[in-house]
Amino acid sequence: MHTLHHDSSQPRSYRRWLFLLAALLPLLCTPAYAVVGDIDLTTSAIGFFAVAVFVLAYALVMAEEKIHMRKSKPVLVAAGIIWGLIGWVYVQNGMSETSEYAFRVTLLEFTELMLFLLVAMTYINAMEERRVFDALRSWMLRKGFSYRQLFWLTGGLAFVLSPIADNLTTALLMCAVITKVAEGDKRFINLACINVVVAANAGGAFSPFGDITTLMVWQAGIIQFQEFFILFLPSLVNFLIPAVIMSIFIKDQKPSSVYEDVWLKRGARRIIALFLITIATAVMCHTLLHLPPVLGMMTGLGYLQFFGYYLRRSLPRSLERKRERYSRRGDNKKLEQLGGVVPFDVFNRVARAEWDTLLFFYGVVMCVGGLGFMGYLGLLSEALYTGWNATWANIVLGVVSAVVDNIPVMFAVLTMEPDMSHGHWLLITLTAGVGGSLLSIGSAAGVAVMGQARGAYTFMGHLRWAPVIFLGYVASIIVHLWLNADSFAIFG
């Protein structure tokens, strides 16, 4: 592990390069390009100030580990400042309706993301309360898996599940297992969480349901359902290369946790089934009804609420039956456990969601939406596709997505509609999906895991392994360019 720590200048220089690329490149472009809003602010003092506020806010987010400030605070303030500046400019020009509409559209994008994440977090918390992850940890300890085996098991499951359950939900699920199995071992938790984030993002890149960006491309009708699976091998390479390197630095020892006999609470298996049904409902809402997947997720929250109601109403009868059964057996331990049973409360699970993460998402989406309305995202996208080769533009945008977030980057590209081949559209889908793995804040999965494993999986802990993850990023691009060369000749 220490072999990657001796040169601390490398992570700092890498982070500085990403900042400059994401924040300063738009400012160096000429103002001749089209902007999203009706007023060109890209070369104004207000526009420059807004970018500076955004960069400062992200600098504070990245320093969370050092300054002990929750990551939501700076981006919330930055979002208020950026949209306040936009509102002031448009009011002065008698165009307040335009800025108001733009804000509402951006807010809608966040709302869909927030509600999707909220339901996923609620189910994860419900399964944790029902001791599902305690039972899974107990099973892993009983099987005698070593840290290295656990590293590969959780990473492999993340890669396999994310195309179905989406990268965000999968990362949250695997993170919950990791923190339970290796409780207190921050070094292993950090490495395993990095591996899960990389695996979940890689797995989500070759499925329309794996990531919000793939959903956007599929909904736009640019890439057909079956064409996403062309990205399977590039995505697999993206996961395996950093995983192999990181696994070398994991001690081949077993967790120090003591095995305990875990008693699953009533309804645990049925909640797992409801979670799978919720995911299926979200998928069907999109595929059959062409409605946002969040509709299915919120319907799934209703499933959980109805089941919670059933658990509360049937609790007295269930306790009475169990008391009689345990009394006949003479099982005093189980009788003592029954005394600590409390009714299941769905809203208590909602309250335990990682609200700092949700508010951080609000701040990021609103900040980037404001900068996009000023014209910076469109300016960057058009500058790249006009002045650069589409291949290099897509590669650079994938790196930019690690800082800015892949959703607005993909939104900007789809808005620009550059004249690209199928191979290039698949390339930007791949790079936007896996590029977010370069930083912990570069993807929804990374941000959510950073909140769930606070103190163990951190921004700086992830950044130390960014060069290794970058190797996987480059290798996946090379594999796509090589294996799918024919697709670069297909347009439309």
Task: For the chain of 492 residues, list the mean pLDDT of each consecutive stretch of 10.
Answer: 36 36 33 50 90 89 73 90 94 89 84 79 81 78 83 92 79 84 84 94 86 74 81 95 94 71 81 89 82 88 90 78 68 55 63 72 83 81 77 89 74 74 89 90 82 83 93 95 83 52
* Radius of gyration for the chain, computed over Cα atoms and rounded to the nearest angstrom: 24
pLDDT in tens, 102-133: 899 888 877 877 787 788 778 877 887 888 87
Question: Which pLDDT value is given to residue 5?
Answer: 38
What's the pLDDT at 76?
A: 93
pLDDT, position 35? 34
Q: Are 258 and 134 in contact (CB under 8 A)?
A: no
Tokens for 286?
């999109």
Which residue's structure tokens are 């040169």? 7
Count of beta carbons in the 10 Å neighbourhood of residue 93: 12
CB 307 within 8 A of CB 130: no
pLDDT of residue 91: 92
User: Is the separation of the CB atoms in 345 and 308 below 8 Å?
Assistant: yes
CA angle 417, 418, 422 (to 5 degrees): 95
Residues whose CB falls within 8 Å of the CB of residue 397, separated by 6 or more in sequence, listed in order = 381, 384, 409, 413, 428, 431, 432, 435
Residue 375 burial by Cβ neighbours in a 10 Å radius (0-12, 13-18, 19+): buried
- State the Cα–Cα distance between residues 5 and 460, nearest whole angstrom: 12
Do 443 and 431 form a contact (C-beta atoms < 8 A)?
Answer: no
Amino acid at residue number 293:
P
Q: Are 335 and 327 in contact (CB under 8 A)?
A: yes
Quick check: helix, strand or coil at residue 417?
coil
Looking at residue 165, what is its pLDDT? 67
DSSP E strands in 176-257: the ranges are none
Closest C-alpha among 46, 120, 126 to residue 87 = 46
CA distance readout (Å), 219 to 91, 95, 127, 426: 35, 31, 32, 14
* Among the listed residues 480, 264, 309, 317, the one whose alpha carbon sits nearest the alpha carbon of residue 391: 480
Is the separation of the CB atoms in 375 and 41 below 8 Å? yes
Pick from 73, 45, 46, 47: nearest CA to 59: 73
The single residue listed with the structure tokens 């700076």 is 74
The answer to whether residues 190 and 250 touch, using CB atoms and an 8 Å cutoff, is no
Q: Give the ranges where 268-419 is alpha helix by DSSP (H).
A: 268-287, 293-329, 332-338, 346-351, 355-374, 376-387, 390-404, 406-416
pLDDT value of position 138:
77
Alpha-carbon distance of 73 to 260, in angstroms, equals 40
Residue 326 pLDDT: 62
Which residues, 6 or more positions from 144, have their beta carbon under 8 angstroms from its beta carbon? 254
Burial class (CB in 10 A: 0-12, 13-18, 19+), 208: buried
DSSP state of 227: G
d(CA 281, CA 287): 10
- Length reported for the chain: 492
pLDDT at 349: 62
Closest CA to 106 of 400, 449, 370: 370
In whole angstroms, give the CA distance from residue 194 to residue 313: 42
Ramachandran quadrant class, 67 (left: phi over 0; alpha: psi -120 to 50; beta: rest): alpha
Q: Find out whether 113 and 169 touch, Cβ atoms under 8 Å.
A: no
Cβ distance 403 to 58 under 8 Å?
yes
Six-digit token string for 403: 């800082």
Q: Which of 16, 26, 19, 15 is nearest to 371 (CA)?
A: 26
Of the CA atoms within 13 Å of residue 426, those in its CB half-sphere come to 34
Q: Which two tokens stand for residue 301?
A: 């929250």
Q: What pLDDT does residue 31 have?
A: 31
Any bridge partners for residue 491, and if so which? 421
